Structure 1
């Protein structure tokens, strides 16, 4: 077992998004084992060359709240008491056995980056896309293609969560209005060529059951030259709806916003329109010659408890592209048990369990979406991390001891294997480089942009490593 009375507890965190960073931060607040000595020595690994995970590669770039979250995460990593290793792939560059040799405990915070499947006829047609892939494209994800076909004039987005709103807003927005963000040049050019006129967002339940938040909803109306269109027949409230409006201020604000748009009978003169539809459930994607030509929806009715049932009434919407945003799904990690149905690592409040759930695997933990599924916002991620970290610290007496706990030993291993890892100092160099790219580029009004995101992995690694002269610190 790990004797951490004479040395700091060695912990590896796999995944440098909010979940991983918050877990690492909470671990640093443990009581020191001796005066002036850290209680926990933490290394944070990520498969991307940069930190911040979902905030960099999963949130629309025109969200104003991104900067605040990045600032908070940056302040944690900028303290210097957590080492960051980017461009390190778990299962390839470091195995589970490697981690067991160098760390007393491992926290997996790898998130959920793939689309949950939509199993309806026509899903295989050309013009059907998962929202996660589109988000990865417009966020400049290094592992996705640089090109994205935007040839449809009428587009459907299936889903009533924040991701659905992000996708719809980006599709409807004029490309020049995205230049105030950090979008890469290839994304701007792709959006610039889009002939879109109408984007339809579909939810199968009513206005009081939507899963997005007031901020995301209000942002829809801020897009220049884009009209919001809603339909009287899509508005219905049952007993559960009325109760939700009365008891939940967030629901009340969103319903009030939607009803305001419903009452607005001013002429719709914008060149693009964003349509919000409720009480419609997808039944089939219609195609001709292998391409999308429409979306068949079934009208639903509220049952009194907020759930819905189909009515049998079918509605066909002419569209040439369909994006499904019905949720994310985690993916299996090498050498770890996995719940394929839920897309999570089996766990009991963060303690990893065997595949059948009968045994706790000592020293292995999970937090974030890979622990509980892709639900909840940043606040839930913090409380989730606290639960996992609390159990990890409780388990100190039974943790399997690292055989090579010296912080330098894992650096030597990566270098011996030729892994071109990046560091926090490397991120600062890349950050400065992206800001310089922004200064040499301009928005639609001729002003320098705040930054331009680098997309290619090799370029990110090169800028990060070339900008750092000193090796990673070995005394954390």
Structure 2
């Protein structure tokens, strides 16, 4: 019987779901799957892109763990594609590869002043407070007044973590250095800006409700933002999620404010125009244009310009994919060009696209950073279907044995981690949490993660 040796690059939800769906699919061949990830631990953005005070969302890890713990998928962590393992290596040992590398860097925001000191990407801040091993352990939290640009869940996560008192994060798996940094933060005001109105936001009701539950933080909304047009009223009446979001915001309008030590301001109909210099090369204020409904669900500029003094700014306008060595990449959209997961390469002479046999994509690197877990599963199903049907075009590896990949990594001195290693690291972090009467305390330094995973940590 034919056997498919499949490599999947990326051990987050997209990669794990693709592996699981393939193993459960109807097929007339055997399957052997190896997952590779540049991080020593699996789960991708679920571990390093979700705020630590979201235990319900992190419950996704339980489902992913169940897939991995079946034992029919191998994991090789701490392996960098393009450095430790190349496309030529994969062709030598596998019949095909699926790239599930996600989108982890910040999308650009092209307004003047965005490059000033004190202006940050939200993705970098999220990686810091989630204990990502490849980011500095320190973060400059010196601002009293902060702006967050964006009206999606990441924007609310960033705003919530900035406004929340650090002690209220102690029950979570927040790393010690992150707690220390947030505890010393002098912040008093966090301003969130979105160019559309309250009925057009991209965050979920759950995210919004959690903002209103912050201790000693006033929620500030402005009556002028709730003069709805017919399109907005129709959205409230016809969409349950919009209805709940509107209900929460309307309740906040009735709250008494003025007693809390911190304030979280929501500014709708506010289009950022420029970040102003404080005279010393640092963020000093944000200038924005007041917008208004256009009658069709969108907005138009009013010409009214406003400014709010700030000392730091976070742009949370989306994630963007990163290119991979030897793999086609669409620089405009930050994705691997593909047709339903089949990677495409453009012919330099004719300009026409053709399928790059043996190479596939799934998740955010396939479709861009939009959608939730359900979209990720349907993405994987689509990609896997094409992979199965493309049997006649698979690579024909010269060394397809499972042992050959291990031998290759070891010959190169790659200190890779495996599933047993993840279990060791997981148990170690849980034990650290138990000792501190917390759920978990993440190990942050990469070398320490690898040492623990490989049982090489010195006593």
Task: Identify whether the pair has TM-score above 0.5, normalized to the shorter chain.
Answer: yes
Which whole-Å CA distance do the structure 2 matches of 1:357 and 1:158 have between them? 39
The root-mean-square deviation of aligned C-alpha atoms, in Å, is 1.3
Out of 431, 434, 438, the residue aligned to residue 429 of structure 2 is 434
The C-alpha deviation readout for 1:348-396, integer Å capped at 9, x for no partner, is: 0100000456100111100000000000011111111111111111111
Q: Report the TM-score, using the length of structure 2 for normalisation.
A: 0.96
**Do 1:238 and 1:305's aligned partners in 2 also have CA atoms closer than 8 Å?**
no
Verify: 1:189 aligned to 2:207, yes or no.
no
Alignment match, 1:456: 445
Alignment match, 2:292: 301
Q: Which one is further off, 369-378 or 267-276?
A: 267-276
**Do 1:296 and 1:314's aligned partners in 2 also have CA atoms closer than 8 Å?**
yes
1:249-328 correspondence to structure 2 within 5 Å:
249-264=240-255, 266-288=256-278, 289-328=280-319
1:62-461 correspondence to structure 2 within 5 Å:
62-264=53-255, 266-288=256-278, 289-355=280-346, 358-441=353-436, 448-461=437-450
DSSP-derived class of the 1:212 partner: coil
The C-alpha deviation readout for 1:427-447, integer Å capped at 9, x for no partner, is: 000001111111222xxxxxx
Report the CA distance between 1:451 and its aligned residue. 0.9
Which whole-Å CA distance do the structure 1 matches of 2:235 and 2:229 have between them? 10
Report the CA distance between 1:329 and its aligned residue. 0.5
**Do 2:50 and 2:58's aligned partners in 1 also have CA atoms closer than 8 Å?**
no
Could you tell me which runs of 5 or more consecutive residues in structure 1 were left unpaired when the two chains were aligned. 1-5, 442-447, 469-476
DSSP-derived class of the 1:135 partner: helix
Q: Report the TM-score, using the length of structure 1 for normalisation.
A: 0.93
Which whole-Å CA distance do the structure 2 matches of 1:236 and 1:209 have between them? 14
**Do 1:347 and 1:357's aligned partners in 2 also have CA atoms closer than 8 Å?**
no
**Do 1:125 and 1:287's aligned partners in 2 also have CA atoms closer than 8 Å?**
yes
**Do 1:157 and 1:164's aligned partners in 2 also have CA atoms closer than 8 Å?**
yes
**Do 2:218 and 2:257's aligned partners in 1 also have CA atoms closer than 8 Å?**
no
The C-alpha deviation readout for 1:23-80, integer Å capped at 9, x for no partner, is: 011011134657xxxx211000000000000001111010122332010100000110
**Do 1:147 and 1:190's aligned partners in 2 also have CA atoms closer than 8 Å?**
yes
Report the CA distance between 1:399 and its aligned residue. 1.4
Which whole-Å CA distance do the structure 2 matches of 1:277 and 1:212 have between them? 14
Could you tell me which runs of 5 or more consecutive residues in structure 2 were left unpaired when the two chains were aligned. none
Q: Which one is further off, 22-31 or 346-355?
A: 22-31
Report the CA distance between 1:241 and its aligned residue. 1.9
**Do 2:46 and 2:58's aligned partners in 1 also have CA atoms closer than 8 Å?**
no
How many residues align structurally? Answer: 452
Which whole-Å CA distance do the structure 1 matches of 2:305 and 2:374 have between them? 40
Report the CA distance between 1:186 and its aligned residue. 0.5
Out of 28, 47, 64, the residue aligned to residue 56 of structure 1 is 47
Which whole-Å CA distance do the structure 1 matches of 2:391 and 2:56 have between them? 37
Report the CA distance between 1:268 and its aligned residue. 2.8
DSSP-derived class of the 2:141 partner: coil
Report the CA distance between 1:467 and its aligned residue. 6.9
DSSP-derived class of the 1:354 partner: strand
Verify: 1:15 aligned to 2:10, yes or no.
yes
